[in-house]
């Protein structure tokens, strides 16, 4: 599903060149659930941006579902993001003036799917994340956990090849975090490929494999621990 080969990412900081990702290679198989961990400055967020086609590598090769995306144009990357990748963010990124249903359907604005099909998909996903009774509510009328469920439904609306989750429980209490992780686990069991960034070992334990980064390099890749 994901294959990166000798990826490097450099940033110019004045006269200094900073290497955020240093010769990283990685394979994530279809229907795998992977957690990426590392301290601040380890390169995990930059790697997630590259995997999400939000940033392009300075060098190396990136294959997403068999397609080489490392050298695509901005318009091509935008299409890949919309059609193949579902994003879940720590801060939800919901539009405050839209209700649940409208937020979930947002990624379909630029797709060729009919309005009837978009509505049907949204209905199914809102029910799947347990929010049918809240589908006409605005984000400010919901708890953090409910807003993250909306974000998960939105991430699934275009039937993506992979879900990228960046600290999906970072703004949630322990009980709600476990509920969100149980939902992601259900999605994984149904066939979804998930790559998640987290700094919490107990959250990483939900994944099948934990990748640890330091100074822009992968220093280990091993089966995750036992779910709490």
Q: Read off the pLDDT band of 164 (50, 70, 90).
A: very high
Range of the domain at 127: 30-56+74-223
- Residue 35 CB partners (closer than 8 Å, separation 6+): 196, 197, 198, 203, 204, 206, 207, 209, 210, 211, 224
Is the pTM higher than 0.95? The answer reads no
pLDDT, residue 171, reads 86
Indicate if the pLDDT at residue 90 is higher than 60. Answer: yes
Give the domain CATH number at 162: 3.40.50.300
Q: Considering the domain boundaries, does residue 209 fall inside one?
A: yes
pLDDT, residue 75, reads 86
For residue 154, the Cα-to-chain-centroid distance in whole angstroms is: 11
Indicate if the pLDDT at residue 227 is higher than 60. Answer: no
Tell me what the pLDDT averaged over the chain comes to.
Answer: 90
pLDDT, residue 209, reads 95
**Separation between Cα atoms, residue 226 and residue 228, nearest integer Å:** 6
Indicate if the pLDDT at residue 163 is higher than 90. Answer: yes
**H-state helical runs in the chain:** 44-51, 74-84, 100-105, 115-128, 144-156, 174-189, 201-204
Q: Which residue in 84, 48, 37 sits closest to 64, CA to CA?
A: 84
Number of domains observed in the structure of the chain: 1
Q: Considering the domain boundaries, does residue 210 fall inside one?
A: yes
Determine contact, residues 67/130, Cβ cutoff 8 Å: no
Indicate if the pLDDT at residue 226 is higher than 70. Answer: no
pLDDT, residue 191, reads 93
Q: Considering the domain boundaries, does residue 16 fall inside one?
A: no
Q: Which residue in 59, 46, 140 sits closest to 98, CA to CA?
A: 140
Q: Considering the domain boundaries, does residue 18 fall inside one?
A: no
Q: Considering the domain boundaries, does residue 19 fall inside one?
A: no
């Amino acid at each position: 599903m994901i294959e990166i080969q000798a990826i490097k990412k450099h940033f110019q900081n004045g006269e200094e060149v900073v290497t955020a990702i240093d010769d990283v290679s990685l394979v994530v198989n279809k229907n795998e659930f992977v957690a990426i961990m590392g301290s601040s400055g380890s390169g995990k967020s930059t790697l997630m941006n590259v995997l999400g086609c939000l940033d392009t590598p300075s060098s190396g090769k990136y294959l997403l579902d068999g397609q080489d995306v490392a050298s695509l144009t901005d318009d091509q990357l935008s299409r890949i993001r919309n059609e193949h990748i579902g994003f879940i963010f720590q801060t939800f990124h919901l539009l405050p003036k839209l209700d649940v249903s409208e937020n979930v359907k947002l990624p379909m604005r630029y797709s060729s799917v009919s309005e009837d099909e978009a509505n049907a998909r949204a209905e199914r996903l809102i029910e799947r994340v347990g929010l049918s009774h809240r589908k006409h509510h605005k984000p400010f009328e919901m708890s953090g956990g409910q807003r993250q469920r909306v974000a998960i439904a939105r991430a699934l609306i275009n039937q993506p090849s992979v879900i990228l989750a960046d600290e999906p429980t970072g703004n949630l209490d322990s009980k709600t975090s476990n509920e969100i992780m149980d939902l992601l686990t259900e999605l994984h069991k149904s066939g979804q490929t998930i790559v998640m960034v987290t700094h919490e070992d107990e959250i990483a334990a939900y994944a099948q494999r934990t990748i640890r980064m330091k100074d822009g390099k992968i220093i280990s890749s091993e089966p995750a621990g036992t779910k709490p």
